[in-house]
Amino acid sequence: MPDISGKYVVDTSWLAANLATPGLVVLDGSWHLPAEKRDPKAEFAAGHIPSARFFDIDEISDKSSPLPHMLPAAERFAAGVEALCIGDGDCVVVYDASAPGLMSAGRVWWLLRIFGHSNVAVLDGGLRKWKAEGRPLEANAAPSPAPRKFTPRFDRSMVRDLGDMRSVVGADDAQIADARGAGRFEGRDPEPRPGLIAGHMPGARNVPFGTLLNGDGTLKTPAELRKVFESAGIDVARPVVTTCGSGVSAAVLTLALAVIGRDDTGLYDGSWSEWGQEKLGLPIAKGP
């Protein structure tokens, strides 16, 4: 089977050439904000990359948490990916069907990596680029392959919780990169979820995830990615924590940082869905 450990992204030509390779698993990790009124499961059934399986970010999560799609326990995650017939050592390529070309696939990539599966990469440009190139699609689900065994190996260093972030805010030991759009970051636009105050964590820097992408939805070059972070005030040589609205698009920042050599960053899982809750009374800044 292919070994893409450390590649982080693969292009559409590579995937097309390797689709029939034993041990390669393609996952559709599409997820959309409620305001978009899109049904990722229905869209998957209507047309997806051949042999792809649907990874449900909301389902393979901590269902006991009041926060959306929080990191599940290791046993729950293992059961979820085993149900998708993903096993130890499989080569996994993740894509999504977002309009930008990359948004939620990064979350699935991060989930697999945090549970010890390094042979995983994101499809550069996603389904948008695959379709633009006229590549084949198939409808409905492919026949289920043989069951597989997945052994989770949780890496705590890759995630940050509320307690961690209380220590990070106002300290100099880590920087916060927020993937939300400027309007939400600055507090000018309302949050899409009820009960949240608009704004950002004090000291955070705004790196909207779309600024890391080219017009065709692919990631910019490493030099260009580095420049985007630096222009936002992020020193990529220092520790970085990524955040967003609910821990999904933050993973795009985590992916981009890995591409430029920083694969040791943490992701704030609760993100603004947690920090922005009025009832918590946490410090909130507004403006650029």
Residue pair 57/108 in contact by the 8 Å Cβ criterion = yes
* Given the residues 97, 120, 244, 252, the one annotated as active site: 244
Residue pair 151/88 in contact by the 8 Å Cβ criterion = yes
91 catalytic? Reply is no
CA pair distance 269, 68, nearest whole angstrom: 10
Compute the chain's Rg from CA coordinates.
18
Residue pair 7/121 in contact by the 8 Å Cβ criterion = yes
CA pair distance 92, 71, nearest whole angstrom: 19
SS3 183: helix
| Amino acid at the residue 124 | D
Specify whether the backbone of 266 is left (phi greater than 0), alpha (psi in -120 to 50) or beta: beta
Token digits for 216?
A: 């065709």
Paired with 48 in beta bridges are 138
Cβ atoms < 10 Å from Cβ of 163: 8
SS3 121: strand
Q: 223-246 in b/e burial notation, b at 16+ Cβ within 10 A?
A: eebbebbeebebebeeebbbbbbb
CA pair distance 56, 27, nearest whole angstrom: 10
Instruction: Outline where 67-161 has alpha helix (H).
Output: 74-83, 105-114, 126-132
Give the catalytic positions in this structure: 244
